Structure 1
Amino acid sequence: MTYLLNPLCDLGLTPEMGWESAGGYGAALMLMLCLTAIAYYSYAIHAAVVFLKQEAGIDHDFHPPVSILKPICGFDEQTYANLASFCQQDYPNYQIIFGVQELHDSSMEVVKQIIRDFPEVDIQLIVNDRTLGTNRKVNNLASALARASHDVLVLADSDVRVGPDYLQQVVQPLKNPQVGVITCLYRSIPQGWVATLESLHTPTAFHPGVLVSNHLEGAKFAMGSTIVIRRSVLEEIGGFKAIANFLADDFQLGHLSAQAGYQVVLSRYIVDHILPEDTLINALQRQIRWAIGIRVSRSWGYVGLIFSYGTLASTVLLLMTDGAFLSWMLWGLAWGSRVTMAWIVGVRCLQDPVAKSWFWLSPVRDFLSFALWIYGFLGNTFHWRGQLFRLTRQGEMVPLTPRLSNRVKFSPR
């Protein structure tokens, strides 16, 4: 009877074989991680299904005037198309303000061309070297805000591309006066195999976590893909100055607004995130920067990611138990539920082009993600736009090297 009640015995680790040894406890740990991961995958699938069933509810009579703030720093071959998509909105009253720090920034000609090509849109270019803090993107946003004419502010990174119905859809939750911030999920459109490998993680691992968090407690954060925020809310949380030194500035805008008592809403609108062709080193540095930023911003959430690596845990368990039958069953269940989650979230929910082609490789991608997760615990320094920074325990950036000029072409992220 004891043998039947002991799951470790079913894995081939009987007391007579010494399952109470270090190896036995290790197998017990892997078993626990495997089961919790399967539960997590199942809950993420449920959260995605609930998200899909939500009604968009477009009120075409609701269209408050909007100021779009676009921080610009450098450019690539996709920048023009990204910026132009914001100038083609089917929306009655909006303006676009581009904020640039350096007069000779390589993006200047692109922005000037945008202004020439869309004379019917209220577009302004602000060149201002003012420095609120170490985050150059926030410095540009602060400069752009000075020229904003409207109370509804829309912030979106320069590597984001949208459709003509974007503004009409993302502002809808503002009909509720308790809503202070709206943010969006995004689908990746990569250029090259390195960007494809990098972007596979977003729809199949990162966004499932976002949907789980949103379903459990509501969104308490925002993402740089889109942040819609009321000017009054921004002022109440201390303006851009309050986040000027933070790496995760987008997270902070949502987090501080939620702490102030406002609702943060995850929009049904999915934007496109354009990932240009890049080197493997740059891609890894970007992933490391995000890992460190998440660890500092949401420490316990970052630690809790250990419970999402069921593919790794089930593989280790299989090796530790010499291929026991129950281990094979758990391995198949973990990998099967992992692939199902990747398909439901990445393909059905986000319609992500990378997920459509490669969702079945998400369990393998988890091994790289796990290595980056471990690396995220090892230090607080990272590279961003050619500059080395150290991250404090509060999440603020301290520059360790002088910044580079933006006169040369480089990746916008």
Structure 2
Amino acid sequence: MEIFDFGSFNTYIYLLLLLLSLSAVWFYAYGIHAAIAFLNHPNFIDPDFHPAITILKPICGLDDEAYENFASFCRQDYPQYEIIFSVRDANDPGIAVVQQIIQDFPQLDLQLVISEHTIGNNFKVCNLANGESKAKYSILLLADSDVRVGPDYLQQVIQPMHDPLVGVVTCLYRPLTQGWVANLEAIGISTEYLAGVLVANKLQKIEFALGPTIAIRKTALEAIGGFPAIADYLADDYQLGYQPAQAGYKVVLSDYVIDHAIATTSFTDLIQRQTRWFLCTRVSRPWGYLGLIFTYGTITSLLFLMTTGGSIFGWGVLVITWIMRLLMGWFVGVKILNDAVAQKLLWLIPVRDLISFFLWCYCLVGNTFEWRGRLLKLTKEGKVKPITADAARVMST
């Protein structure tokens, strides 16, 4: 072909970009296949299977619509469960909402644990451990404070544990947003990140968990050493799936889709959150992280078009790649998640992919990030260490 009739270096560049674009098309096609398979998966509910559950809900600050989020867990059509809210700071603004919840649902087994006891540098895990110390039941369900669910949530999520070999169950989630920045983040979650989760689940079944909801047997948690075993890891949700899987337990992706509020209000917040998530992936699954380069077809096809001087062939590669990317985004975001943002703003996918690609490049080498006002450093093992004020000043000079 004429566009390849150049020196060897240029030819290698063109071929590399073409290969990356075609691999992305394959990934998008398989993502659609994985989404259809997930949609058609039989959803069997045994109404007689309802083991007692302890819901652990760590609190740090006050999320938007926190009362409704908490109350949705109190309206479950489920016979026996308790909810333990845990918070580290006695002055945390979320405490007042929890106290109101306890007052409004006196028929339920609810309690609030306030403790600064620390077992590691990941304060969310410390919070969970403080709540778990009061748990009555052998199945724990970890649910973030910004999650909202329907009354059938517990009954559906717990079903895979009918199999005693299943140690962990996790869920996809549908972003709830306010504002254009949150919408931009939600598009990436619905059409990129969760598409990757479905692909991983279809290829070989997942061996990780997703933070907003994780149901785990106490025996599986004890098998890995309890919460102290993951208290220094950044990707605690990943470890709560990965380590039990290594101990011989199955990890299952539930058919249930929860609602997860995205509180991102500024572009800086978006960059910080996405940087943290990319770093989580890099240290948890380094080869998988490098493999993401084969999924950025919107970027590589655009570069291919530019390097071929706007050729007809280059345009053809770009159009096919972008159509497949949008189709995958529609299948996952709209058909599977029923995400209102994806329904309205699917055209933002190329913009979101561009941001994602630049962050992927940065996180190949970066290892510092901010998390809830704390400046942290990521080690090679995936653990976090606080950066002192003196060290931070040195880094800024």
* TM-score, length basis structure 2: 0.96
Q: Given that residues 18 and 301 in structure 2 are in contact (C-alpha distance below 8 angstroms), is that contact kept between their aligned partners in structure 1? A: yes
Q: 1:245 aligns with which of 232, 248, 251?
A: 232
Once the two structures are TM-superposed, the CA of residue 23 in structure 1 deviates from its matched residue by 1.9
Match in the other structure for 1:68: 55
Alignment of 1:280-299 (within 5 A): 280-299=267-286
The DSSP-based 3-state class of the residue aligned with 1:124 is strand
Match in the other structure for 1:103: 90
Alignment of 1:348-363 (within 5 A): 348-363=335-350
Q: 1:118 aligns with which of 100, 105, 109?
A: 105
The DSSP-based 3-state class of the residue aligned with 2:279 is helix
| Amino acid aligned to 1:325 | I
| Amino acid aligned to 1:203 | S
Q: Given that residues 184 and 348 in structure 2 are in contact (C-alpha distance below 8 angstroms), is that contact kept between their aligned partners in structure 1? A: no
Q: 1:13 aligns with which of 4, 8, 31?
A: 4
Match in the other structure for 1:151: 138
2:391 aligned with 1:391, yes or no? no
Q: 1:92 aligns with which of 60, 72, 79?
A: 79
How far apart, CA to CA, are the structure 1 residues paired with 2:235 and 2:341?
A: 25
Q: 2:118 aligns with which of 107, 114, 131?
A: 131
Match in the other structure for 1:179: 166
How far apart, CA to CA, are the structure 1 residues paired with 2:388 and 2:179?
A: 30
Once the two structures are TM-superposed, the CA of residue 177 in structure 1 deviates from its matched residue by 0.8
| Amino acid aligned to 2:255 | R
2:25 aligned with 1:38, yes or no? yes
| Amino acid aligned to 1:184 | C
* TM-score, length basis structure 1: 0.93
Q: 2:358 aligns with which of 368, 371, 381?
A: 371
Q: Given that residues 34 and 202 in structure 2 are in contact (C-alpha distance below 8 angstroms), is that contact kept between their aligned partners in structure 1? A: yes
Once the two structures are TM-superposed, the CA of residue 277 in structure 1 deviates from its matched residue by 5.0
Greater than 2 Å deviation, 4+ residue runs: none
Deviates more, 1:191-200 or 1:381-390: 191-200
How far apart, CA to CA, are the structure 1 residues paired with 2:358 and 2:42?
A: 38
The DSSP-based 3-state class of the residue aligned with 2:140 is strand
The DSSP-based 3-state class of the residue aligned with 1:164 is coil
The DSSP-based 3-state class of the residue aligned with 1:200 is helix
Q: Given that residues 71 and 157 in structure 1 are in contact (C-alpha distance below 8 angstroms), is that contact kept between their aligned partners in structure 2? A: yes
| Amino acid aligned to 1:300 | W
| Amino acid aligned to 2:4 | L
Deviates more, 1:274-283 or 1:262-271: 274-283
Q: Given that residues 195 and 275 in structure 1 are in contact (C-alpha distance below 8 angstroms), is that contact kept between their aligned partners in structure 2? A: yes
2:213 aligned with 1:226, yes or no? yes
| Amino acid aligned to 1:149 | K
Once the two structures are TM-superposed, the CA of residue 276 in structure 1 deviates from its matched residue by 2.4
How far apart, CA to CA, are the structure 1 residues paired with 2:350 and 2:269?
A: 23
| Amino acid aligned to 1:52 | L
Once the two structures are TM-superposed, the CA of residue 378 in structure 1 deviates from its matched residue by 2.7
How far apart, CA to CA, are the structure 2 residues paired with 1:84 and 1:24?
A: 60
Deviation per CA, 1:282-340: give whole Å up to 9, x if none. 22111111111111111111110000011111111111111222211111110000000
2:181 aligned with 1:194, yes or no? yes
Q: Given that residues 72 and 148 in structure 2 are in contact (C-alpha distance below 8 angstroms), is that contact kept between their aligned partners in structure 1? A: yes
Q: Given that residues 387 and 401 in structure 1 are in contact (C-alpha distance below 8 angstroms), is that contact kept between their aligned partners in structure 2? A: no
Deviation per CA, 1:381-413: give whole Å up to 9, x if none. 0000101000000111100147xxxxxxxxxxx
Match in the other structure for 1:321: 308
How far apart, CA to CA, are the structure 2 residues paired with 1:289 and 1:214?
A: 23
Match in the other structure for 1:57: 44
How far apart, CA to CA, are the structure 1 residues paired with 2:274 and 2:288?
A: 17
| Amino acid aligned to 2:25 | I
Deviation per CA, 1:138-163: give whole Å up to 9, x if none. 11111111111111110011111100
How far apart, CA to CA, are the structure 2 residues paired with 1:65 and 1:401?
A: 43
Once the two structures are TM-superposed, the CA of residue 45 in structure 1 deviates from its matched residue by 0.5
Deviation per CA, 1:325-370: give whole Å up to 9, x if none. 2211111110000000000011001111111111232123211110
How far apart, CA to CA, are the structure 1 residues paired with 2:353 and 2:11?
A: 25
- Alignment gaps of 5+ in structure 1: 1-8, 403-413
Deviation per CA, 1:91-114: give whole Å up to 9, x if none. 000000011111111211111111
How far apart, CA to CA, are the structure 1 residues paired with 2:64 and 2:333?
A: 26
Match in the other structure for 2:392: none
Q: Given that residues 85 and 164 in structure 1 are in contact (C-alpha distance below 8 angstroms), is that contact kept between their aligned partners in structure 2? A: yes
Once the two structures are TM-superposed, the CA of residue 19 in structure 1 deviates from its matched residue by 4.1
Once the two structures are TM-superposed, the CA of residue 51 in structure 1 deviates from its matched residue by 0.5
How far apart, CA to CA, are the structure 2 residues paired with 1:249 and 1:138?
A: 7
Identity across the alignment (%): 51
Match in the other structure for 1:307: 294
Aligned length in residues:
389
- Computed over aligned residues only, the root mean square deviation of the Cα atoms, in angstroms, reads 1.1
Deviation per CA, 1:193-228: give whole Å up to 9, x if none. 111111110011001100110011101000111101
Q: Given that residues 78 and 276 in structure 1 are in contact (C-alpha distance below 8 angstroms), is that contact kept between their aligned partners in structure 2? A: no
Match in the other structure for 1:407: none
How far apart, CA to CA, are the structure 2 residues paired with 1:288 and 1:190?
A: 19
How far apart, CA to CA, are the structure 2 residues paired with 1:166 and 1:264?
A: 18
How far apart, CA to CA, are the structure 2 residues paired with 1:392 and 1:348?
A: 39
Q: Given that residues 69 and 144 in structure 1 are in contact (C-alpha distance below 8 angstroms), is that contact kept between their aligned partners in structure 2? A: yes
